[in-house]
Structure 1
Amino acid sequence: MELSYWELKNWFTNIDYTIFGSGIVGLHAALRLRERFPTAKILVLEKGMLPQGASTKNAGFACFGSLSEIIDDLKTHSEEEVIQLIAKRWQGLQLLRKKLGDAAIDFRPHGGYELFLKDDENTFNECVAKLPFINELLQPLFKANVFTKEVDRFGFQNVEDYLIFNPFEAQIDTGNTMQELLKQAIAADILILNQQTVTSYADAGNHVEVVLGDFSFNSQKILFATNGFANALTHGAVQPARAQVVITEPIPNLDIKGTFHLDRGYYYFRNIGDRILFGGGRNLDFEAETTTEFGQTKIVQNKLEDLLKNVILPNQDFKIAHRWSGIMGIGNSKNPIVEQLSENVFCGVRLGGMGVAIGGLIGTELADLI
């Protein structure tokens, strides 16, 4: 890469902090560093055209876990861990709203619902039985009952007659959210360069050498906010998890409004105006969906269309307008990794599919490690 004197001087000289990843975590980290160090030179490098791992690909759910997900988490995490996770997600959502503003992110508090397929009666019965216990667990945090059982008024088919309702869930506009974050970063004099792939780095003690292809530069500190792409960085503690998504053409007189969870959170859908966005299905083939490659598979796409036709939009004509995928970062634990890797290298990764909720908080915590 042949750089001019001007390019070297303005973009790659005297860099205090370099952040890898311009998604929700990376930009919150950059903005927090700007608050703490007003005169620092802050550079953000993004390997995509956009912050597209998951930050511009997600479904726009302002959620913190469905009832069945929370019950599932209690089987592998302690009560205290689960409460702390939910508290962090809730705190992160408030941080996002405060920093960006409800109007900018198109915050819509329609509430969230969980529905249960007829052939998943055991999960439904378990959720109904444990609902009072989970509400009691979350009472100190929300000062109210989070989950209630309500009759399905949306006309879904092949599901139990009752849904689980959560009034604290909401929708956001993913595109507007990221645009507002980018605007704030640029206004804060944070440099952002896209389509930059870091091939290696070396912590030299008093600085870090960063290599971009055949070009290298020095930065005092570096921060990784690469989530689903952090496998090598964390020695396997973060695994990529692809999520496939479809959105319909507008549907006349659509009577579905809110965020919806199905099958322990492996499927999720919402309205965007009079369209339905529907995603999930990685549980159909975990091996194939443990990938950093964007794309679709027949097994998942067919299942999404089948559930749209037979469960979500029965007796309604619909047409798929667009398909895409995003890459999340998951692991054996739902706890995010926010830690110092060496003298001048830090990371904030493994958001467990809750990047919208927890991303801002993790970015802030990452910056505060410095």
Structure 2
Amino acid sequence: MQLSYWENEHWFTNVDYTIVGSGIVGLHTALRLRERFPESKILIIEKGPLPQGASTKNAGFACFGSLSEIIADLNNHTEEEVISLIQKRWQGLQLLRKRLGDAAIDFKPYGGYELFLKDDTAGYEDCMRRMPFVNEVLKPLFRTDVFAKEIDRFDFKGIQEYLVFNPFEGQIDTGLMMQALLKEAVAQNILILNSQTVIACHEKLDNVEVSLGDFSFTTKKLLFATNGFAGGITKGALTPARAQVLITEPIPNLDIRGTFHIDRGYYYFRNINNRILFGGGRNLDFEGETTTEFGQTELIQNQLEKMLRETILPNTDFTIAHRWSGIMGIGSHKNPIVQQLSEHIYCGVRLGGMGVAIGSIVGMELGDLVS
């Protein structure tokens, strides 16, 4: 492709900062750079027609971890690490709401719930036993108990007696959130180019040459915000994780309201526009779901429908309206990777399935890392 004078002059000449990825992290990075460097030229490159990955494909949970997830993390990380991570997620949610406003993202403070299936007696009893300890650990951050037992009022079937309720959780409209972020970026004179894939980058003494296949350009700094697609630049510290999701047609008189977690967060569902959005099941096939390929599998989709039919909506007729998938970035450690990779190249990746909560903070940190 040959660029015109106008295209080259206005899009690809004197670029100060190029961000790869126009999701939550990439947009917050760009907005932070605009705050720090008001006169700079900022370009975002996105390989998809929409933000690829998970930013427009997530379930819209404004959460920071269910009780069973936090207990699992405490088994594998130090108490200080877990508290720090939850604090970062909580601060990230507040930053997102403050930047865009609750109305713009349709934030609903309905609270969150955790269900425990009948055959998960050991996990249920462990959570009940350790709940006071976890509440005590989190009290300096939230000033009150986060988790409490609650009787099931939703008529779920095949679950343990109590749900665990968290009043600090909410839900958002993911599409509205991303539209609001994109509008903010455009208003701040940040250029966004979609359907452009970075084929290669070559670092020079004073800049980085970025190849988009048909042509190349130079940028003073290059920042990767591609999360689950960043395995190649993190040297094995990150692996992709596909999340499969489905949503029902509208259900008359649906009385389920909130965000819901099952099995350490491997399953999750919520209400939206009188529908149930339900995702998860990656734990049924970890190897198969360690992929950057979008799509669904019969194994996981059948299990999601089975749980909908038997546990979540046992006395309700429903029809599946739509299915999709998103790609997350995970690793052996839950902390995000925000670091300088070389003289002019940086990254902010590995959000651990908590992009809505932590993406804004990771973007801010990435923007602050650059000189």
CA–CA separation in structure 2 for the residues paired with 1:191 and 1:236: 31
1:326 corresponds to 2:341 = no
Counterpart amino acid of residue 52 in structure 1: Q
Q: CA deviation at 1:76?
A: 1.0
**Which position in structure 2 is the counterpart of 1:68?**
68
- The equivalent of 1:351 in structure 2 is 351
Instruction: Choose 205-214 or 322-331, whichever is displaced more.
Output: 205-214
Structure 1 position 91, deviation (Å): 0.3
SS of match in other structure, 1:328: strand
**Equivalent residues in 2 for 1:246-261 (5 A)?**
246-261=246-261
Deviation for aligned residue 1:131: 0.1
Q: Aligned partners of 1:205, 1:110: CA distance in 2, in Å?
A: 52
SS in structure 1 at match of 2:96: helix
* CA apart distance, 1:119: 0.2
1:270-307 CA deviation, whole Å, 9 max, x = no partner? Answer: 00021000000010000110000000000000000000
- Superposed, 1:147-162 pairs within 5 Å as 147-162=147-162
Deviations 1:292-348 (A, max 9, x none): 000000000000000000000001100000000000000000000000000000000
Take 2:173 and 2:365, find their aligned partners in 1: how far apart are those partners?
A: 24
Alignment of 1:204-353 (within 5 A): 204-353=204-353
Q: Name stretches of at least 5 consecutive residues in structure 1 with no aligned partner.
A: none
Which residue in the other structure is 1:23 paired with? Answer: 23
Distance in 2 of aligned mates of 1:96 and 1:320: 31
Q: Whole-Å Cα distance in 1 between the matches of residues 235 and 248 of structure 2?
A: 39
Query: Cα offset for 1:2?
Result: 1.2
Tell me which amino acid in the other structure corresponds to 1:180. A
**Do the aligned residues in 1 keep the contact of 2:46 with 2:52 (CA within 8 Å)?**
no
Query: For the residues of structure 1 that align with 2:186 and 2:255, how far apart are their CA atoms?
Result: 39
Match of 1:127 in 2: 127
AA matched with 1:32: R
Match of 2:136 in 1: 136
Q: Distance in 2 between matches of 1:341 and 1:205?
A: 15
By how many angstroms is 1:239 displaced? 0.5
Deviations 1:23-47 (A, max 9, x none): 0000000000000100100000000
Can you give the 5+ residue segments of structure 2 that lack an aligned partner in the other structure?
none
In the alignment, which residue of structure 2 is the partner of 1:12? Answer: 12
One-letter amino acid of the counterpart of residue 68, structure 1: S
Equivalent residue runs for 1:190-205 within 5 Å: 190-205=190-205
Q: Secondary structure at the match of 1:247?
A: strand
How far apart are 1:202 and its partner, in Å? Answer: 1.3
SS in 1 for 2:288: helix
- Identify the residue that residue 32 of structure 2 maps to in structure 1: 32
User: CA separation in 2, counterparts of 1:161 and 1:258?
Assistant: 19
Scaled by the length of structure 1, the TM-score of the pair is 1.00
Give runs of ≥4 in structure 1 deviating > 3 Å. none
Give deviations 1:193-225, integer Å, cap 9, x for gaps: 001100110111210010111311000001000
- The within-5 A match list for 1:35-46 is 35-46=35-46
Identity of aligned residues (%): 72
Q: Distance in 2 between matches of 1:331 and 1:48?
A: 24
Give SS of 1:232's match. helix
* CA RMSD in angstroms, aligned pairs only: 0.5
* 2:145 aligned partner: 145
Say which SS state the counterpart of residue 279 (structure 1) adopts.
Answer: strand
Cα offsets for 1:254-284 (capped at 9, x unmatched): 1100000001100000000210000000100
Q: Distance in 2 between matches of 1:264 and 1:52?
A: 26
- Quick one: which amino acid aligns to residue 26 of structure 1? G
Distance 1:110 1:201 in 2: 45
Counterpart CA distance in 1 for 2:170 and 2:55 is 17
- What amino acid does structure 1 have at the position aligned with 2:178? M
